[in-house]
Structure 1
Amino acid sequence: MASETRLPLDTDLPPDGERRRDFLYVATGAFAAVGAAAFVWPMINQMNPSADVRAMASIDLDLASVEPGQAIKVSWRGKPVFARQLTPAEIQQANAVNVSTLRDPQTLAERTKPGSEKWLITLGVCTHLGCVPLGAGQGEVRGDFGGYFCPCHGSHYDTAARIRKGPAPKNLEVPQYAFKTPTSVTIG
Structure 2
Amino acid sequence: MATSEREEPTRRDFLYIATGAFGAVGAAALAWPFIDQMNPDATALALASIEVDLSSIEEGQTLTVKWRGKPIFIRYRTQEEIDAARAVDLAELRDPQTDEERVKAGKDQWLIQIGICTHLGCVPLGEQGDYDGWFCPCHGSHYDTAGRIRKGPAPLNLELPPYDFVTDDLIKIG
Give the aligned CA root-mean-square deviation in angstroms: 2.1
> Which one is further off, 26-35 or 82-91?
26-35
C-alpha distance in 2 between matches for 1:109 and 1:35: 57
- Matched with 1:16 is 9
- Matched with 2:143 is 157
| Partner SS for 1:31 | helix
- Matched with 1:4 is none
Where in structure 2 are there 5+ consecutive unaligned residues? none
Runs of 4+ displaced beyond 4 Å = 11-14
- Matched with 2:166 is 180
Q: Does 1:32 align with 2:18?
A: no
| Partner SS for 1:145 | coil
Partner letter of residue 62 of structure 2? A
The one of 68, 82, 104 aligned to 1:77: 68
Where in structure 1 are there 5+ consecutive unaligned residues? 1-10, 136-140
Q: How many residues align?
A: 171
| Partner SS for 2:9 | helix
| Partner SS for 2:133 | strand
Partner letter of residue 16 of structure 1? P
- Matched with 2:41 is 50
Partner letter of residue 20 of structure 1? R
Partner letter of residue 66 of structure 1? I
* Residue 34 of structure 1: how far off its partner (Å): 2.1
TM-score (norm 1): 0.81
The one of 53, 59, 62 aligned to 2:53: 62
Matches within 5 A, 1:108-119: 108-119=99-110
TM-score (norm 2): 0.87
C-alpha distance in 1 between matches for 2:56 and 2:38: 39
* Residue 56 of structure 1: how far off its partner (Å): 1.9
Structure label with greater radius of gyration: 1
C-alpha distance in 2 between matches for 1:36 and 1:100: 60
C-alpha distance in 1 between matches for 2:79 and 2:16: 75
- Matched with 2:122 is 131
